[in-house]
Amino acid sequence: MNITKVGEGKVVLIAGGGKIYTDLAARFTRSEKGLVELLSSEDDAKLVRTIVDKGHLAATEFDYFLFGVEGYSRVTEAQLVRKRLASYLIKSGRIEKHGRRSFDVAVPDGILDHKCSCKLKNGDSIELDGHDLLDLTEQWYNSGVNAGLREEDLRYLKPEATEFKALIGMNAHALLDWFKIRCCQNAQAEIRDMAWKMLRLCKQAAPELFETAGPSCVSLGYCPENDFQNKHCHVIRKDAAMKILQDYSKK
């Protein structure tokens, strides 16, 4: 069994950045130049920054980014695919690795050592910690495979900690929106880790697109969560920011 701790997942930028097409898309709608002339002109990073700052993000949908991720749990997979404006290719969990099955999991710190007295079906009690539960599940799973049971049925009892590997594709507009939600301190720790790693790669590959990207408070200047604001976040709340603006408008 391979155990990865939450925070150790890997994110790789496979494609994206370099030539940026947001400025081309924006200039195409307004410029009197023909396509050939537009294509031969240099990228305009200042225009891209202006587009993002103004929130005119339709043009950012012409820049696409492809990531590879591994070392994350099925818990995070379920949250990830809620973002519908994206493409996902999830690696099969049933594929044999040269005749060896690998029971890979990703778990947060602090839970594996927790012990509990568990009552068995025959009435006996046994004390188990998280390591024991994972070991027993792996043994049960492998026994089922050896007994000829179908893996698509056996995996119903695999833990949510089971690792998933995937290719993720999103355009820049979808990424900017996703970072607002998943880089926030209210996001679950593992998917927040993935989001920040993706954001750092995007900032390196296309700084003009993602210079001001991040959680909502970064782009808005206030926290939109109001009563649900994370206790570790000290950005001004939306209701307080709106009151300041309202009071100012009355002057």
pLDDT value at residue 100 = 58
**Which tokens go with 218?**
């970064």
Percent composition of the chain: helix, strand, coil (DSSP 3-state, to 5): 45, 20, 35
DSSP-derived letter for residue 230 is: -
CA separation, residue 27 to residues 7, 24, 207 (Å): 41, 5, 19
> Model's pTM, two decimal places?
0.88
pLDDT value at residue 97 = 58
Q: Cα 46 from chain centroid? A: 28
DSSP-derived letter for residue 158 is: S
DSSP-derived letter for residue 157 is: G
Please give the Cα distance from 156 to 146 (Å, whole number): 17
Residue type, 1: M
pLDDT value at residue 18 = 83
Residue with tokens 């009563």: 227
pLDDT value at residue 233 = 82
Please give the Cα distance from 51 to 41 (Å, whole number): 18
Every domain of the chain and the residues it spans: 2-89+163-214, 221-251
Annotated catalytic, 182?
yes
Task: Say which residues have a Cβ less than 8 Å from residue 1's Cβ, sequence separation at least 6.
Answer: 102, 103, 104, 105, 134, 135, 138
Please give the Cα distance from 175 to 57 (Å, whole number): 11
pLDDT in tens, the chain (251 residues): 888 899 999 999 999 988 888 888 888 877 777 777 777 777 788 888 988 988 889 999 999 999 999 999 999 999 999 888 899 999 887 665 555 567 889 999 889 999 999 998 899 999 999 999 999 999 999 899 889 998 889 889 999 999 999 999 999 999 999 999 999 999 999 999 999 999 999 999 999 999 999 998 888 888 888 888 888 888 888 888 788 778 777 77
**Which tokens go with 81?**
């695919």
**Which tokens go with 78?**
């379920």
Annotated catalytic residue, options 30, 49, 94, 182: 182
Please give the Cα distance from 186 to 191 (Å, whole number): 11
Q: What is the DSSP string of 166-227?
A: EEEEEEHHHHHHHHHHHSSTTS-HHHHHHHHHHHHHHHHH-HHHHTT-SSHHHHHSSBTTGG
pLDDT value at residue 227 = 85
Please give the Cα distance from 151 to 148 (Å, whole number): 9
pLDDT value at residue 165 = 93
Under CATH, to which class is 2-89+163-214 assigned?
alpha beta
Nearest of 210, 183, 165 to residue 16 by alpha carbon: 210
pLDDT value at residue 101 = 63
